Amino acid sequence: MTNIKVLHQQDKEQFVININEQQALLTYNLYDDRVVFTHTFVPDSLRGQGLAEKLVRSGLSWANSANLNIEASCWYVQKFL
51 C-beta neighbours (distance < 10 Å), count = 22
CA 56 to CA 49: how far, in whole Å? 14
Going by their DSSP bridges, the two strands 7-9 and 69-72 should be labelled as unpaired
42 pLDDT band (50/70/90 cuts)?
very high
Q: pLDDT of 14-31, one tens digit each?
A: 999 999 999 999 999 999
Q: What is the pLDDT of residue 39?
A: 98
58 pLDDT band (50/70/90 cuts)?
very high
Q: What is the pLDDT of residue 80?
A: 97
Q: What is the pLDDT of residue 3?
A: 80
| Residue bearing the bigger pLDDT, 38 or 4 | 38
Assess contact for 24 and 39: CB atoms under 8 A: no
